[in-house]
Structure 1
Amino acid sequence: MIVCLCHRVSDRDIHRVIGEGVTNFELLQDLTRVASNCGNCLDCAQMIFEEACAARGCGEKHVHAAGLTATAAP
């Protein structure tokens, strides 16, 4: 499924990047440009990111606050 229409980023792209070791949403944005243009996909992209990280046991806890994602210690 396409998550970000502006940059044609799919849920598969997000899963692939997480599989390559990315565990930080901002780094995901830097690499894929997801949710970096109009922002309409931000919630969906974050949800997919969180689910993929949880499924892979990324080992970090990601905290959402006012549309921002920060990484906190487990």
Structure 2
Amino acid sequence: MYVCLCNGVTDKEIKASIKEGATTMRALYKEHNIGSQCGKCCQCAKSILNDELIQIAEAQVQIQVA
């Protein structure tokens, strides 16, 4: 799904960036220009960022427990 219509950025591209190490909206902005035009994508992008970071943290906890 397109998150940023102005720059043609999809949720898959955002998730890939997060898996490669982007952990802030600033990092997503630098890579994809998220929020540089109308700004309507920021809330959705932030939600994806938070969800992905939670999943990464939970996976790390499971590895440490095992």
TM-score, length-scaled by structure 2: 0.79
Match in the other structure for 1:68? none
Larger fraction in helix? 2
User: Which ranges of 4 or more aligned residues in structure 1 deviate by more than 4 Å?
Assistant: none
Q: Percent identity?
A: 35
Match in the other structure for 2:5? 5
* Structure ranking higher on relative contact order (CA contacts 8 Å, 6+ apart): 2
TM-score, length-scaled by structure 1: 0.71
Give the paired residue count: 57
Match in the other structure for 2:17? 17
Match in the other structure for 1:51? 51
Residues in 2 aligned to 1:55 and 1:25: alpha-carbon distance in whole angstroms? 17
Residues in 1 aligned to 2:35 and 2:54: alpha-carbon distance in whole angstroms? 20
Residues in 2 aligned to 1:44 and 1:18: alpha-carbon distance in whole angstroms? 14
* Max Rg structure: 2
